[in-house]
Amino acid sequence: MNFKRKRVVGACFRILFLLVFVPLLLYILQQVGTGFCSKLLEHGKVRVKEINDAFRLDLDTLQTYDIVMDYSGMSSEGGGGVDRRKLVGMPDARGLLQIPHKVYLSGYWPVGKEVLVSESSFAVSFTMSLYQPSWKDNKTINQSSHPAGLAFIVLPPYQKAADEGNLTEQLGLGADGSLNLSSSIARTAHFPGGGQVSVQTGRLPNRLSSLPLIDPNGPLLVVHVSVMEPTPPAAGTARYTVWIEYARLTQSLSVYVGAGEVKERPDDAVAIKKNISYLDGNYWDASFGLYSSAGQLLQVHSWSSDVDGATYLMKYIMDNYLHAAAIFLALILSLAATVAAAAVSGVAWYFRTKQRRWKKEQKKLAKIMQSLPGVPMQVDFSDIKKATFNFQEASKLGKGGFSSVYRCRLPAAAACGGRSSSYVEVAVKKFTRGVEEQRYEDFLAEVSIINRLRHKNVVPLNFWSYNKGEPLLIYEYMTNGSLDQHLFRRDGNNQEQQDDTSSSIRQWGTRYSIATDIATGLHYVHHEHEPMVLHRDIKASNIMFDSNFRARLGDFGIACTVADDRTSVTGVAGTWGYIAPDYAMSNRATRQTDIYAFGVLVLELVTGKKNRDVPADDGHISDWVWRLLGEGRLLDAVDDHQEAIVADEAERLLLLGLACTNPNPSNRPSMAVAVQVITKLAPPPDVPPERPAFVWPPREWRSSLDSEYDCTITTESTVELVQIMQDQRPSEIQNSTITSVSM
């Protein structure tokens, strides 16, 4: 009662403080005046407007270029641009390509007697291939008259080029095909595998003062990048990525070049130009340009630019509105303190509420677990956390759709409540769904099924734990891992990887015993246990081996029980490749859908192949084995890594696997028959030499489902069937919720 009273009093004080603070804040803002607020907002808008200007361009898709050619007479300044086909026809003509995007790099704002100045940083990158001009193959043409590489220029606002002089003269192109730059620096870097890049940064000589392209306050800064390919050149057309970055704080421009079309720029710059600035106000409406031959400009594939603008307004505001700024800062701090106090109180209330809910859930969960038959023992969460080193990745055995499994050595004293100094190896299943309620439901759904199962071929549940919304199930640790770890151990040359247990799976007797164990365990959950349990995720990774290499069914996370008066449950769950076609079409799980997955698993066990690791024309392992059966080569499907196979037993298992994967559920054997076939109490099933066509809906359904299914589906290929399942399932099935489907 005292705790509740304190909470009420604290809430009343917080409300009272807000009722006093808000009117006081409004009064102070009114006294300061609207002038200061409006100016602050006005300058704030100027600052925010250009704070992050990103532009991307795929030049390979351009049909017209914003370009000025030197001696061709073509110009795009009249509007519309220069057609790409014309540029292709005159690859050796030089020109200036202007990127069609204006950027804000600097500017002036008069405020009273003061002048505010702003400047921006920028980063551009582009990818290009090397233009291979025709003159390279003609020795009679002066090769030095053609420029190599590209020149990058930041262009201030300009109008049409002057009539006198051409673009070559304006840009100061020398007789050797390179740019004549003053105050320049040149750097060269080499690429792995041959080839080199040269970067020259400098300014154009301001010899033609009448040309509007030249900055009246200083010559233009140019970055000239040229690449020399290795000799002989690499196969195909090599691409290169160039990054040019200007930092306004350090007033430096850095150039990086990388071989290939890469996203991450190199750490080391090829060239750095310092003591430069765009803070003269002439770049308020600037643009970026590239100068080279038309053939090289057409080899620029992609462009990216980012401009980060930040105006220097704070000094002006503090000098002219110091008093108002102090008041405003005090108000901001007061408001922040109020919000922080409210937030702390809210967080404290949230965690107290959550803690009470966790305790309530733990008590409820303990009562539920105690009501279960053969209740597993509860283990303290701190012991598990310590044993798994706080669930580190090194302890993780595997991960599923909604859970992760960790291996740990749990002290026997913690597990059994005694004082033993020994350890028990266990597998801890941690539910990982993002919502606590879903983790809680997953835990209860699995424990309500697995706790009832008592069979030598089912992985037993030993303990459980719970802490702050994290329920855990603790199973007996299966020493020899899962079937897929042994069956599909292949390296890059399709050779089996050897270890201490790989020899066991290579023995035919071991594989036949595994098939017997799986069939026995599945027969138990289908026919012996009440109520009936459908596993719904039979696959190689869910078959576990104990220390004696006995196979056990594991991972009942999406399993479900079936009431006595029913034969199916609704909801698709499982793994593609093991899901029966009738299951995907009807959205109902039955014994026959588990039997289909069992059949796929038996075929994988005998062949040593994953269900999709077959020739592309077959598509699925059942199609492949059925084709071999029709060709009279059934035993060719047997894994050639096995030792001393028994032909009769291999043929028996392959025929059983085909019978279980019959596309039509009514023609599949039951698990009782499957067990008799494996234990040789019944002959192998009769299997047609060709895979039967899948007919949907079944004939016995059609009279009652005429209104539900408006067509009959027939297919003889699993590949075709997958497409049909995606395109032509009934609407109510397409709109239903899929519980869990993994790949």
- Is 57 a residue whose pLDDT tops 50? yes
Mean local confidence (pLDDT), 557-565: 89
Query: 529 or 146: whose pLDDT is higher?
Result: 529
* Farthest-apart Cα atoms in the chain, separation: 105
Contact assessment for residue 678 and residue 533, using Cβ atoms and an 8 Å cutoff: no
**Does 385 appear as a known binding residue?**
no
> What CATH number has the domain spanning 372-476?
3.30.200.20
> Highest mean pLDDT: which of 5-9, 96-100, 156-160, 310-314?
96-100
Q: Which of 71, 74, 104 is nearest to 87 (CA)?
A: 74
Q: For the residues of 583-599, what is the DSSP string, one character each?
A: HHHH-EE-HHHHHHHHH
Strands 461-467 vs 470-476: parallel, antiparallel or unpaired = antiparallel
In the predicted model, what is the mean pLDDT of the chain? Answer: 75
Q: Give, in order, the Cα–Cα distances in Å from 139 to each of 127, 142, 204, 295, 296.
A: 30, 8, 31, 19, 20
Query: 526 or 15: whose pLDDT is higher?
Result: 526
- Is 324 a residue whose pLDDT tops 80? no
- Is 541 a residue whose pLDDT tops 90? yes
Catalytic residue among 70, 442, 517, 537: 537
Structure tokens at 251: 């007033």
482 secondary structure, DSSP code: B
Contact assessment for residue 449 and residue 556, using Cβ atoms and an 8 Å cutoff: yes
- Is 692 a residue whose pLDDT tops 50? yes
DSSP helix/strand/coil, 231: coil
Q: Where are the domains of the chain?
A: 2-32+321-352, 56-133+144-317, 372-476, 483-742
**56-133+144-317 and 483-742 in the same fold:** no
Q: Residue 308 CB: number of other CB atoms within 10 A?
A: 16
- Separation between Cα atoms, residue 535 and residue 542, nearest integer Å: 10
Residue spans of alpha helices (H) in 250-321: 294-297, 314-320
Looking at domain 56-133+144-317, its CATH class is mainly beta
| Residues of the chain above pLDDT 90, percent | 27
CB-based burial, 598-622: b 16+ in 10 Å, e otherwise: bbbbbbbbbbbbbbeebeeebbbbb
527 secondary structure, DSSP code: I
Q: Is 537 known to be catalytic?
A: yes
Structure tokens at 263: 């996203």
Q: Give, in order, the Cα–Cα distances in Å from 77 to each of 82, 88, 203, 570.
A: 9, 19, 25, 68
pLDDT digits (tens, 9 = 90+) for 209-251: 333 444 444 567 888 888 877 666 555 457 889 999 998 888 8
Amino acid at 579: I
Mean local confidence (pLDDT), 617-643: 92
Contact assessment for residue 365 and residue 466, using Cβ atoms and an 8 Å cutoff: yes
pLDDT of the residue at 421: 60
- Is 26 a residue whose pLDDT tops 60? no
Query: 743 or 252: whose pLDDT is higher?
Result: 252
pLDDT of the residue at 236: 47
Q: Which of 603, 575, 609, 576 is nearest to 718 (CA)?
A: 576
Amino acid at 44: G
pLDDT digits (tens, 9 = 90+) for 343-379: 777 777 776 776 677 677 767 776 777 666 666 788 8
pLDDT of the residue at 732: 38
Q: Which of 541, 557, 676, 531 is nearest to 597 (CA)?
A: 541
Q: Which position has the token pair 């899929």?
A: 738
Structure tokens at 295: 């053939």
- Separation between Cα atoms, residue 524 and residue 529, nearest integer Å: 6
Determine if the pTM surpasses 0.95: no
Q: Give, in order, the Cα–Cα distances in Å from 471 to each of 206, 447, 474, 693.
A: 76, 11, 10, 46
Worst-scoring range by mean pLDDT, 121-125, 285-289, 303-307?
Answer: 285-289
Worst-scoring range by mean pLDDT, 59-73, 190-204, 273-287, 649-663?
Answer: 59-73
Contact assessment for residue 511 and residue 649, using Cβ atoms and an 8 Å cutoff: no
- Is 190 a residue whose pLDDT tops 90? no
Contact assessment for residue 297 and residue 69, using Cβ atoms and an 8 Å cutoff: no
Please name every residue paired with 286 in a beta bridge, in sequence order, or none if there are none: 103
- Per-residue pLDDT band for 413 (boundaries 50, 70, 90) equals low
pLDDT digits (tens, 9 = 90+) for 32-48: 544 444 444 444 433 33
- Is 568 a residue whose pLDDT tops 90? no
pLDDT of the residue at 738: 40
Q: Which position has the token pair 């409820």?
A: 364
Mean local confidence (pLDDT), 200-204: 80
pLDDT digits (tens, 9 = 90+) for 131-184: 766 544 444 444 444 445 788 888 877 534 333 344 456 565 544 446 667 777
Q: Which of 381, 330, 290 is nearest to 62 (CA)?
A: 290
| 3-state DSSP of 644-665 | CCCHHHHHHHHHHHHHHCCCCH
pLDDT of the residue at 142: 44
Contact assessment for residue 409 and residue 389, using Cβ atoms and an 8 Å cutoff: no
Amino acid at 52: N
Mean local confidence (pLDDT), 410-430: 75
Contact assessment for residue 272 and residue 254, using Cβ atoms and an 8 Å cutoff: yes
- Per-residue pLDDT band for 7 (boundaries 50, 70, 90) equals low
pLDDT of the residue at 203: 79
Structure tokens at 648: 């009769």
Q: Which helix (H) or strand (E) holds 82?
A: strand 82-83
Contact assessment for residue 271 and residue 26, using Cβ atoms and an 8 Å cutoff: no
Structure tokens at 573: 């769950």
The separation between CA 555 and the C-alpha centre of its own chain, rounded to angstroms, equals 26
CB-based burial, 424-447: b 16+ in 10 Å, e otherwise: bebbbbbbeeeebeebbebbebbb
The yes/no answer on whether domain 483-742 falls in CATH 1.10.510.10 is: yes
Q: Which helix (H) or strand (E) holds 740?
A: strand 740-742
Q: Which position has the token pair 């840009």?
A: 171
Mean local confidence (pLDDT), 68-76: 58
Mean local confidence (pLDDT), 497-501: 52
Q: Write the burial class of residue 192 (CB in 10 Å: 0-12 exposed, 13-18 middle, 19+ buried).
A: exposed
- Per-residue pLDDT band for 499 (boundaries 50, 70, 90) equals low
